[in-house]
Structure 1
Amino acid sequence: MVRILIILTSFLYCCKTACAQTADTTFIFNKLAGQQVTDFTVDNLGNLYILNNTGQIKKMGPAGDSIAVFNNVRQYGKLYLIDVTNPLRVLLYFRDFGTIVVLDRFLNPRATIDLRKQQLFQVNAIGQSYDNNIWVYDELESKLKRVAEDGRVLDQTTDFRMIVDTAPSPQFIVDQNRLVYLYDSLKGVYMFDYYGAYKNRIQLKGWTDFTVIGNAIYGRDANMLYRYEAGTLNLQNYPIPAAMRDAQKIKIMPGNLYVLRNNRLEVFSYH
């Protein structure tokens, strides 16, 4: 983890100096990882998951070798989210149908969860939990709930409307370092512990590509990349190179920057 944070700090320094340099001198184009790409993500082992416009998910290893393919993406409508926090257990969330599909590391289906059968009718965000279950946020009840692969609700928080002044409508749920982060781009970051106790709210608004690594929170808007160290007042912002500002999605990983633009997934290396 220390090495990851050192590399990310180096990346952010590169972004900060990008105004005085061209993108070519800051980032080195590595490869074109895919075309006609509509979404992607990367796990902590460097495996790349690409969703193409035909509705297929392809998993590729760090060297670009094909590992697995999942072809039934459209069975439950539009895919809203891919969570690969645990590389051995991939979550696909189809929000319109309230359905979570759990895949193994070779993208074979192992479980399908219909949230509606658990009376969960308005769930915009899900995420892997620390114990290999799934966090879901029930907006109708304003509660964070932990569900098993069979759909059973294992645990839930108090109604958020009783503990915060305004309940979130999160787009992201991240479980990291014994904390659960809910990110609502209009209201900011809400932090809870595993027992549902409210810890803090941070007024970081208008971000996309939200993630948490260690104690650092990362995100971006159209022009800037942000890093915030939880528990401090230290918010750092760095210009995104002009050539990357039309990106549909940017994901930072150790040593590599993944940029999706014009349905092309480009991989850049940095030091």
Structure 2
Amino acid sequence: MRTLSYIFLFLLCTSTVKAQDSLFRLRKTLKITGAQLAVDNLDNLYVLSNNEQLKKYSPNGDSIAVYNEVKRFGKLHTLDATNPLKLLLYYKDFATVVILDRVLGLRASLDLRRHNIQQASAIGLSYDNNIWVFDALNYKLKKVDEQGNQLMETEDFRALFNTSFQPTTIIDQNNSLYLYDPAIGVYQFDHFGTFQKKYPITKWQNIAVVGKHIVGITGSALHAFNTSTLLQQQYQFPSSFGSFSQYIIGNTALFGLGKESVQVYSFQF
């Protein structure tokens, strides 16, 4: 019976549907350029420029603020814009998290190594405005505050899952915590670090959680995995999308970063 259940789950998870180009409707074009893009839950845009400045724009493309010290700790690894009031910049090579306020003013700088976290494979903002960190040396998920004080930690993931699961992305959304390892899948936890489910999602880029869907990009398509029905759908991008260097998935929009602009497309599953 268990084998039949696994087969049924596999069939559900691997079903795909290709949608027509009409799914993506151009909402607006913003004259914004840069090398990397992030979006918060209010559709404010954060753009890392080619000269290593971090710029914040309103949903209409109006300039709001600039942060000029992006290169202070080397190469920026992760930009978490979950909360527009608290931006996280993670520098993996130096295990350092820089915390900015809503106008990109420096709020705090946290050296994780000083708090016995030598290698963090991923960080993310928690629902209570603390910081989730996955410690890649001891395979534990930890929560720390801005001062680096440890608030909680999980068991060793190697004992919990019997695998070398190391997430590269942490998303705290919809009263759940999602950890993504592109080689293994998405693991869902509650806010106490208790494991709930595993989803067979691999090799996706720029994943996000939108309602009941885990969404991501592969090549020229958007994928959506419904966590309630376990159905996966694939939506092929129109040929006009070919010039974008990066895609970001927001709550109600898809953002494409081009050479001369950011194009915003509405979509609905």
Interval of TM-score (by shorter of Structure 1 and Structure 2): 0.7 to 0.9
164, 178, 182: which one aligns with 1:181: 178
Q: Counterpart in 2 of 1:63?
A: 60
Cα drift, residue 245 of structure 1? 4.4
Give per-residue Cα distances to partners, 1:109-168, cap 9 Å, x unaligned: 111000111121111211010111000100111110001000111110000111113132
Instruction: Report the TM-score when normalising by structure 2.
Output: 0.87
Counterpart Cα distance in 1 of 2:249 and 2:207: 10
Q: Which amino acid aligns with 2:32?
A: G
Give per-residue Cα distances to partners, 1:67-105, cap 9 Å, x unaligned: 111000000001111111111111111111110001110
In structure 2, stretches of 5+ residues that fail to align are 1-16
1:40 aligns with 2:37: yes
Kindly tell me the number of residue pairs found equivalent between the two proteins. 251
Counterpart Cα distance in 2 of 1:141 and 1:246: 41
Counterpart Cα distance in 2 of 1:161 and 1:254: 33
Task: Report the 3-state secondary structure (helix = DSSP H, G, I; strand = E; otherwise coil) of the residue aligned with 1:91.
Answer: strand
Q: Is the 8 A contact 2:30 2:60 kept in 1?
A: no
Q: Which amino acid aligns with 2:26?
A: I
Identity %: 40
Task: Report the 3-state secondary structure (helix = DSSP H, G, I; strand = E; otherwise coil) of the residue aligned with 1:16.
Answer: coil
Q: Which moved more, 1:26-35 or 1:224-233?
A: 26-35
In structure 1, stretches of 5+ residues that fail to align are 1-12
Alignment of 1:132-211 (within 5 A): 132-211=129-208
Q: Is the 8 A contact 1:176 1:212 kept in 2?
A: yes
Counterparts in 2 of 1:54 and 1:257: CA distance versus 1, 3 Å: same
Counterparts in 2 of 1:214 and 1:61: CA distance versus 1, 3 Å: same
Counterpart Cα distance in 1 of 2:260 and 2:255: 10
Give per-residue Cα distances to partners, 1:213-246, cap 9 Å, x unaligned: 2221000100321111114321111112233246
Alignment of 1:1-271 (within 5 A): 16-18=19-21, 26-28=24-26, 30-35=28-33, 37-245=34-242, 247-253=244-250, 256-261=253-258, 263-270=259-266
